Amino acid sequence: MPVVIMDASIYKHVPGGELVNANIIIKDNKIHRITDNQNEVKSFIEENPETEVLSSKDKIVLPGFVNAHTHSPMSVFRNYASDRSLHDWLFNMIIPKEQLLTEEDAYWTSLASQAEMIRSGTCAFADMYFHFESLVRAVRHSGMRANLTVMPLSNKWNEGKRKTVSNAQEAISLFKKYNDNEMITLYTELHSVYLYDIDMIHVNVEVAKELNTGIHIHLHETEKEVDDCLREHNKRPIELLREIGVFTRPVLAAHCVVMNDDDIDILKEDKINVCENISSNLKLVSGIPRIPEMIDKGVNVVLGTDGCASNNNLNMFEEMHISAIVHKNQMKDPTVMPAHKLIEMATKNGYEAIGFKDRAGDVAEGMLADLIMVDISSLHCTPINEVAACIVYSMQASDVDTVIINGRIVMRNKEFVTIDEELVKHKVRTVAKRLGL
């Protein structure tokens, strides 16, 4: 049904941020009109009597966040085996437990992550995980917009060893069944150069070409990844992938931490979308990516939480905040990464990276209606002073009040519309217990 937000304070992407007062009319799945003409709003409501009218007292309206790299079913592993080395954590603790997750488990644990994302203002996310059809089910349940991955390859575990096998026909048929270019867009998954062999990377590119879609990949996350690839192929991963033709497709590349100048040139030349995951990179000691330099060169940089097992939550306010202050210090320049830039990265740049360029990420007429209403009256936001800085440095996930995705209210005054929160939490706790976490 249509939604009208009365007397909205609308956040605009300009230096420092800006609030513009107007009424927002949402019809079908789009921002239909933004107007300060009260009569026009009245007429619309009269003509559409089923319209839900929201008050925006003490709130501002922002485009929703895009969490551009996560592993949603990993909510169950949150705070399991923290403060360990990456290798110990991943191979000894996480992967053996991951193998015990059933399709049904993945449905509930992904839904829990989606609930957490909605509660903290995220409207869309890019996911990378197995149990694909459980993720589709969970996304349809929550009402979130999602970029999921089909896997032309699958990792089979054989006597404890991972083995990559071709899965191309299944990936193609899943794509054709579920990709709608709107609520669910599908990329192929190319996990990384260290998990897939050369032949399989070729298969991945061919499938992405056939489906005319993009590729989601982990790229240059650690020095070990780069060093191992150099040893094995005498090339850095980004060079190897370029040679194979991966970057002829739209690419969403998570991490990009270990990057030399030539690597950054390739990011720019091949129009690779870079997803920073600063909390995870710091916590797993992967390093600090050269984000300000990438931005200076014109690379589209976006933000993600990574799986909440290495974060350990799915809070885009934290990602904006930590990214801003870590990179200021990295560059010894407090003027880099100004607050409004982080908000762009978390919103419109994110939509571009997951295949929605110029279709969402700004509160403007004609855009897909992915909006959040955020309470601005808390103590920690008083006084507001500069609004972009307030959002990035002061605001908390708990300030998110109402979330609209694709024109549909999915959280209203902090109450979920689509999700039974207590049931979801109960299910996740049950899975954690069964897995012996």
Nearest Cα to Cα of residue 192 among 146, 149, 253: 253
User: Which residues, numbered 60-89, are part of the site for a copy of itself (CB under 8 A)?
Assistant: 75-86, 89
User: Which residues, numbered 259-318, are part of the site for a copy of itself (CB under 8 A)?
Assistant: 279, 281-288, 308, 311-315, 318
Q: Which of 324, 346, 360, 405 binds a copy of itself (CB under 8 A)?
A: 324
Q: Which of 232, 262, 333, 365 binds a copy of itself (CB under 8 A)?
A: 333
Q: How far is the CB of 382 from a copy of itself (least distance, A)?
A: 5
Whether 219 and 253 have beta carbons less than 8 Å apart is answered as yes
**Is 306 in a helix, a strand, or coil?**
coil
Q: Is 335 in the site for a copy of itself (CB under 8 A)?
A: yes
Distance CA 108, CA 137 (A): 10
Q: Is 51 in the site for a copy of itself (CB under 8 A)?
A: no
Q: Around 84, how many Cα atoms within 13 Å sit in the side-chain half-sphere?
A: 15
Q: Is 164 in the site for a copy of itself (CB under 8 A)?
A: no
Distance CA 320, CA 121 (A): 13
CA dist list (Å): 40 to 11, 44, 79, 368? 22, 6, 51, 21
User: Which residues, numbered 19-38, are part of the site for a copy of itself (CB under 8 A)?
Assistant: none
CA dist list (Å): 1 to 4, 132, 139? 10, 30, 20
Stretch that binds a copy of itself, among 113-121, 346-354, 365-373, 404-412 (CB under 8 A): 113-121
Which one, 230 or 331, has the nearer CB to a copy of itself?
331
Strand 3-12 with 18-27, pairing: antiparallel
Nearest Cα to Cα of residue 341 among 15, 46, 78: 15
Within 256-312, where are the H helices?
Answer: 261-269, 278-283, 291-296
Helix (H) or strand (E) holding 432: helix 421-435
DSSP-assigned letter for residue 214 = -
User: Which residues, numbered 338-367, are part of the site for a copy of itself (CB under 8 A)?
Assistant: 338-339
Q: How far is the CB of 111 from a copy of itself (least distance, A)?
A: 10
Nearest Cα to Cα of residue 248 among 299, 197, 209, 275: 209
Q: Which of 235, 242, 268, 328 binds a copy of itself (CB under 8 A)?
A: 328
Q: Is 412 in the site for a copy of itself (CB under 8 A)?
A: no
User: Which residues, numbered 371-390, are part of the site for a copy of itself (CB under 8 A)?
Assistant: 377, 379-380, 382-387, 389-390
Stretch that binds a copy of itself, among 122-130, 159-167, 329-337, 403-411 (CB under 8 A): 329-337
Q: Which of 393, 408, 412, 417 binds a copy of itself (CB under 8 A)?
A: 393
> In sequence order, what are the residues at sequence separation of 6 or more whose Cβ sits closer than 8 angstroms to the Cβ of residue 42?
none
Q: Which of 325, 364, 408, 417 binds a copy of itself (CB under 8 A)?
A: 325
Q: Is 47 in the site for a copy of itself (CB under 8 A)?
A: no
Q: Is 398 in the site for a copy of itself (CB under 8 A)?
A: yes
Q: Is 128 in the site for a copy of itself (CB under 8 A)?
A: no
What amino acid is encoded at 422 in this protein?
E
Q: Which of 10, 34, 112, 240 binds a copy of itself (CB under 8 A)?
A: 112
Q: How far is the CB of 342 from a copy of itself (least distance, A)?
A: 10
